[in-house]
Amino acid sequence: MTMMTPPPLDQQEDEEMLVPHQEFTEGPQPMEVISAEPATAPENQQVEDPPTFKYRWTIENFSRMNTKKLYSDMFFVGGYKWRVLIFPKGNNVDHLSLYLDVADSTTLPYGWSRYAQFSLAVVNQIHGKYTIRKDTQHQFNGRESDWGFTSFMSLSELYDPSRGYLVNDTCVIEAEVGVRKVVDYWSYDSKKETGYVGLKNQGATCYMNSLLQTLYHIPYFRKAVYHMPTTENDMPSGSIPLALQSLFYKLQYSDNSVATKELTKSFGWDTYDSFMQHDVQELNRVLCEKLEDKMKGTVVEGTIQHLFEGHHMNYIECINVDYKSTRKESFYDLQLDVKGCRDVYASFDKYVEVERLEGDNKYQAENHGLQDAKKGVLFIDFPPVLQLQLKRFEYDFMRDTMVKINDRYEFPLQLDLDRDNGRYLSPDADRRVRNLYTLHSVLVHSGGVHGGHYYAFIRPTLSDQWFKFDDERVTKEDAKRALEEQYGGEEELPQTNPGFNNTPFKFTKYSNAYMLVYIRESDKEKIMCNVDEKDIAEHLRVRLKKEQEEKEHKKKEKAEAHLYTIIKVARNEDLAEQIGREIFFDLVDHDKVRSFRIQKQLPFNHFKEEVAKELGIPVQFQRFWLWAKRQNHTYRPNRPLLPQEEAQSVGQLREVSNKAHNAELKLFLEVELGPDLSPLSPPLKTKEDILLFFKLYDPEKEALRFAGRLFVKALGKPTEILPKLIEMAEFPANEEIELYEEIKFEPNVMCEHIDKRISFKSSQLEDGDIICYQKTLTSASRDQFRYPDVPSFLEYVRNRQVVHFRSLEKPKEDDFSLELSKLFTYDDVVERVACHLGLDDPTKIRLTSHNCYSQQPKPQPIKYRGVDHLSDMLAHYNQLPQTSDILYYEILDIPLPELQGLKTLKVAFHHATKEEVAIHSIRLPKNSTVADVINDLKNKVELSRPDAELRLLEVFYHKIYKIFPLGEKIENINDQYWTLRAEEIPEEEKNLGPHDRLIHVYHFTRDPNQNQMQVQNFGEPFFLVIKEGEALADVKLRIQKKLQVPDEEFAKWKIAFISLGRPEYLQDSDVVSNRFQRRDIYGAWEQYLGLEHSDTAPKRAYTTNQNRHTFEKPVKIYN
């Protein structure tokens, strides 16, 4: 799945991008970007299993490397040379950047390409199961000779030694590369090969395509969509029912892949939504809810419920008294556990598993008090179409992130939910209904947790033949590919040297089933009904057939384009209509004039007859001029056609006039009109005659219009034509006028005053030149107008810009708009904004530019006078001509220049005696020290004693990494990823004896499903003083008192000495100080006293390091 637009760099920390490596400057990369696990490229299809090679690269002294990028040694796979490219400090992002590179790309012949499927990994050297591995595939070529992940993993995770990716300052990278032979499938015809067509991918809409194909191939659903009432006046882009009807009709009758843009527009999505990969299950639910709502009050009301709705019963039944509580609930799909379940039946067993409520967890039964009880779920009925969502994504507490579960998970072709005498059914279930299901479709997710590719295996008629619907391409597949190969799990590569006793190489399969659709056998005939044209509304058939005919017509025109020339004819009427309304510079927009499609071999005179017929101007009164693009980028009529040129064919003439070899010929049609406005023969044109065009400017109305055209003599003077110009302007005969020549407007406007006393030739005027004129203004009257003369007006028009301002707090809503000039300075812009907001001090306005790709504010605001002009504020990462018309503003409490000299830190203050944490923003000059932060904080917080001393700590992942020295400058302190914690220094720490030790104490727990050695820290870490020879029993008493834990609870806690993540449990008689070495180890935080107990505390409601403007967009259908 290929995204054809770059995403923003200010994306979420763990969002990954697959990109050809580029060392980019600020902003997104103007390059192709794909999500974390792609599909087979549309033009390529694998034809045999690839030879695979695994390369391991050990990099020592990793944190001390000062090189920006590093290449591995070269290795061979499939006869090709490869190497790994790494950016140890990130490719201008705060993530490790990792790519596969074609090692000899610079010496390969022109047009080379090779196709590889590969994975890149950073090995976890403590626990291999936490190795981070990402895989993709790519067609390497001269333009994209490397490919990989700019945001492979966060640098904070990589450089944290406790995480296991950097051990003894050594990093281990693995690359597994499989080179595939490919066949060119440009000519592949899905309809011809399979009878079905695919859906085009808009960027990241493969998840939607797989779902739409699944729903389309449920004929009863398709028929219901066709029967939703729509009218011929509806527009697909504004009506979900009509857009879906149109899409389904095209899937049914089109010969080529179908676009989904109308449908996503009907959802209210913009382009950016189409480049956001979402969740199939979420889209399925939202779409079905929308359709259910749109079907209300129509002949198909209730279809969604009828097809997909089932019911289950939640119950709690007391064991010792006669009391039972039940609640009936409906479902449209079921979420089944994958982890710990071998197949669908095991998941259903787990779904209905009975939970015992006893001990501390007894049930409060009405009128019976606390009772032992059993709690569970049983199904009242299942729907005709059963949608099973497999929980492939889960939260990993160890890594504090979502992970994908790639475990093997089997699903049957036939699913019997009446098994074991109906063990899944409630007592109220209708046992006459046979709940035997057959598999209809398998939706597959290929990739990792942060991205990937979706496609679907479907049996459209429930026959033995499966089809793979992968965006635009549909292929026939066998049952093994659709079922067994989508179970997930691991797969062994075949032995390369069978004679040797080497261990077979296993790799995890990242492509696996994510959603299953089953159809009940007893409802099969009704669900798999026939859908034909009579089910489709007449207006829809007519509309879509007309669309198809227009498409065919355009296709035919395109195929025959080389036989025709498009002639665009501009006339006086076009100039009068456009100048001052649509255009202000030059004379005409050629895309909005009359065009003729003429066969190239026809003589030009035949075209003149066509013009006579169409425009009513006899051939003898027509004179055509060729246009020319001048060196100053203006486009003007240049010369009339010669008689010998008019005798040529249209094709020959087009080649003479247009060196660019496009299919257009642009002409100006000169027609002279008599006093009665009837056409006359064109006047004789000599070298002395110059054709000039005139525009009239009115400073009072700030309006420009086309006044007409005149032939003048080269040696004549403007004074000779003044009466004619005054007449054309309908001014009084004695009116004084000023003349200006419009010379150019790129890159700047050039419009110069014309001396009326010298000849046109002396003023260097020639055919096609433009003269703008206006009334002469007195010095006094000039002051009345904003733009008193033609040059100032044209300058204004060239640089005017309407800017939409939005409050940074509400970045999606326009607040107000101002018309400004692109030449405005920084001060001009903030003054206008402050004036509009009624703010006296413009320096309290801070502006932020707009990111055109993400449709969000850029991560960094504009510095005070950090740009020269408004045009710089609106430029999109210096990529002209792309600019924005949006700016975000915020009103500061102090002037921006003053704020820029300050550093703001968010500090979490932990009260010494109360269980409360308060977040304080400390704003101080950048050259301040930690001591200044503490002094400022003392004035804001409540201390336990007036003479209490404070310290500032750096806390990360529930560990204390640093106590900041009082003299440390705050300018370099980063509070974006680390929590800054302030606390009072306990008295016992101030009076340490010579043999006392200050140790770290952290809370931890272990996930029973994970490796037993792996610990997960949580809660608030703290320091503790331990005395020499002090036994654990005494230390425990002090810990219990400090944390105020009840005896009953504290008795369950275990205490361990933990070094580098490995716990060693202690007995009450153990001397604690013996475990803590005197010598410094690398990172004092890696040796600590661990308190093992369950994490029952609620998550804190505050976050000190929220990134600006980063959020995940849920699926929304707005209409």
pLDDT digits (tens, 9 = 90+) for 32-66: 222 233 333 333 343 344 567 899 999 999 988 88
Kindly report the number of other CB atoms within 10 A of residue 511's CB atom: 19
pLDDT digits (tens, 9 = 90+) for 826-858: 999 999 999 999 999 999 999 999 887 777 888
Per-residue pLDDT, 559:
76
Terminal alpha carbon distance of the chain: 27
Per-residue pLDDT, 51:
64
560's CB contacts (< 8 A; 6+ apart) are: none
pLDDT at 1116 over 80: no
d(CA 910, CA 1104): 14
| % of residues, the chain, pLDDT over 90 | 35
Q: DSSP of 341-385, one letter per residue?
A: -SBHHHHHHHHTPPEEE-GGG-EEETTTEEE-EEEEEEEEE--SE
Q: DSSP of 282-298, one letter per residue?
A: HHHHHHHHHHHHHHTTS
SS3 category, 811: coil
Residue 453 bears catalytic tag: yes
Q: Are 624 and 673 in contact (CB under 8 A)?
A: no
Q: Which two tokens stand for residue 846?
A: 């801070």
CA atoms within 13 A on the CB side of 698: 11
Q: What confidence tier does 649 reach under pLDDT thresholds 50, 70, 90? A: confident
Q: What confidence tier does 1095 reach under pLDDT thresholds 50, 70, 90? A: confident
Minimal CA–CA distance to 847: which of 817, 892, 810, 881? Answer: 892
pLDDT at 1082 over 50: no
Q: Are 164 and 125 in contact (CB under 8 A)?
A: yes
What average pLDDT is seen over the chain? 82
pLDDT digits (tens, 9 = 90+) for 706-761: 999 999 999 999 999 999 999 999 999 999 999 999 999 888 889 999 999 999 99
pLDDT digits (tens, 9 = 90+) for 232-283: 766 766 778 888 888 899 899 888 888 887 777 777 654 434 334 445 666 7
pLDDT at 541 over 50: yes
d(CA 455, CA 441): 11
Task: State the amino acid at position 479 in one-letter form.
Answer: A
Per-residue pLDDT, 1081:
45
864's CB contacts (< 8 A; 6+ apart) are: 826, 843, 896, 897, 900
Q: Which of 21, 312, 450, 453 does the annotation list as catalytic?
A: 453
Handedness of CA 910, 911, 917, 923 (dihedral sign): negative
Minimal CA–CA distance to 517: which of 284, 246, 252? Answer: 284
Handedness of CA 686, 689, 690, 694 (dihedral sign): negative
pLDDT digits (tens, 9 = 90+) for 333-355: 999 999 889 999 999 999 999 99
pLDDT digits (tens, 9 = 90+) for 955-979: 888 888 888 888 888 877 776 667 7
pLDDT digits (tens, 9 = 90+) for 10-26: 333 333 334 445 443 33
Residue 562 bears catalytic tag: no
pLDDT at 473 over 80: yes
Handedness of CA 856, 860, 861, 866 (dihedral sign): negative
Task: Give the DSSP letter of residue 75.
Answer: E
Minimal CA–CA distance to 111: which of 143, 151, 158, 83? Answer: 143
Question: What number is the average pLDDT over the span 567-582?
Answer: 93
Question: What number is the average pLDDT over the span 583-610?
Answer: 91
Question: What number is the average pLDDT over the span 779-803?
Answer: 90
Beta bridge partners of 219: none
758's CB contacts (< 8 A; 6+ apart) are: 717
d(CA 1065, CA 157): 27
Minimal CA–CA distance to 708: which of 733, 690, 727, 689? Answer: 727
Q: Which two tokens stand for residue 54?
A: 């695994």
Q: Which two tokens stand for residue 814?
A: 């326009």
293 burial via Cβ count (<10 Å: 0-12, 13-18, 19+): exposed
d(CA 801, CA 804): 10
pLDDT digits (tens, 9 = 90+) for 888-914: 999 988 888 888 878 888 888 887 777
SS3 category, 467: strand
* 3-state class percentages of the chain: helix first, strand second, coil last, to nearest 5: 25, 35, 40
Per-residue pLDDT, 1071:
86
SS3 category, 439: strand
d(CA 837, CA 816): 10
Q: Are 90 and 122 in contact (CB under 8 A)?
A: no
Per-residue pLDDT, 1013:
53
| % of residues, the chain, pLDDT over 70 | 84
Per-residue pLDDT, 882:
65
Q: DSSP of 447-512, one letter per residue?
A: EETTEEEEEEEE-TTSSS-EEEEETTEEEEE-HHHHTGGGS-SEEEPPPS-TTS-PPPPEEE--EE
Phi, psi of 554 (to 5 degrees): -65, -40
> Which has more confidence, 383 or 508?
383
Q: Which of 171, 206, 288, 751 does the annotation list as catalytic?
A: 206
Per-residue pLDDT, 842:
93
Question: What number is the average pLDDT over the span 783-802?
Answer: 91
Q: DSSP of 94-160, one letter per residue?
A: SEEEEEEEETTGGGSPTT-EEEEEEEEEE--SS-GGG-EEEEEEEEEESS--EEEEEEEEEHHHHT-
